[in-house]
Copies of this chain bind each other. A is one copy, B any other.
Amino acid sequence: MAAKLLTGKEVAAKMDQDIQKEVQELKAKGTNPALRIIIVGDAPDSVFYANSAKKMAEKNGIACEIEQLAGTMSQNDFVALLKQRNADRNIHGIIVMRPFPKQISEDVVKHILAPEKDVDCFNPVNAGKIMAGDLTGFPPATPQAVMEMLKFYEVPMSGKEAVVIGRSMVVGKPMAMLLLQENATVTVCHSRTKDLPGVCRRADIVVAAIGKAKMITPDYIKAGATVMDVGINPEGDKFVGDVNTDAAKETAGAITPVPGGVGTVTTRVLLKHVVKAAKLQNP
């Protein structure tokens, strides 16, 4: 029996609907939700990402300005600018693109971004809030996108065994915290895990966030498990996930495709966070 494909587009469409409704409500009360994306320098990846986020924001009625700064800007000037944006009541969410040019330290700047505008979990305050289950916090986009998918497709989490492969700050660790919040029993695996296939086979829900193309084969998957593939790895002129989807879908009960899965939902999470930030800032 082939696995059910958990595609992102239905989830994204439902989120767009919800976001647009909330944006209208905010506007009716005089608040125009606005996102600011800041790029220091001109890294093509950052510019491309920012432009596509801006397009999607505007499609949903959220104002979005991209602020592109000189790659030679000093850290002090950047910190001063960021503080001005923090203080600007017309900006509700701020995304700061990384990597920075080398004169700017991520470890310094991340503490400057106001936590209440930090819609992509750059400031450690937001990581701490996710850990604490504090609902005023903003989880990083990718693990939150996985949660949106699991909830949309009504995958049971409470009392289930979830295994997260990967322990990064952008996916693995916050993913574990979000699954715990839903009462899953959560295991975090990584490169030092012994018998990774065996540990993964315990899971009712596997989240693959490794960054290795097609590494997860059917021997990692319990029959009927839900497999969430967070990987986006270049292969020739295409992108593939961390899961060998064609093979795994014979064992899994449900699986997200790549492309067309979790990645489809991540930008919507950021927009949802901008709306949440605008509401929290204008109670």
Which A residues are within 8 Å of any B CB, using their own CB? 107, 111, 123-129, 131-132, 134, 158-159, 161, 167, 169, 173-174, 176-177, 180, 183, 185-190, 192-194, 199
Contact = CB atoms under 8 A, between A and B. Distances in A.
Nearest to A124: B128
A130 to B, nearest CB: 8
**Copies of this chain per assembly:** 2
B185 A131 contact: no
Given A131-B128, A132-B124, A180 B159 contact: no
7 contacts: A111-B125, A127-B132, A132-B169, A159-B194, A183-B190, A186-B187, A187-B187
Contact of A131 (B107, B131, B189, B192): B131
A174 B129 CA distance: 13
A193 B188 contact: no
Contacts of A167: 180
Nearest to A160: B194
Nearest to A185: B193
A193 B186 CA distance: 9
Contact of A193 (B123, B127, B159, B173): B159
A189 B124 CA distance: 25
Contact of A187 (B128, B129, B185): B185
A185 B188 contact: yes
Nearest to A174: B131
Contacts of A158: 192
Contacts of A187: 185-188
Nearest to A179: B188
Contacts of A176: 176, 188
Contacts of A132: 124, 127, 169
Contact of A194 (B123, B129, B131, B185): B185
Contact of A190 (B125, B131, B173, B180): B180
Contacts of A111: 125
A218 to B, nearest CB: 21
Contacts of A185: 187-190, 192-194, 199
A123 to B, nearest CB: 8
Contacts of A124: 124-125, 127-129, 131-132, 134
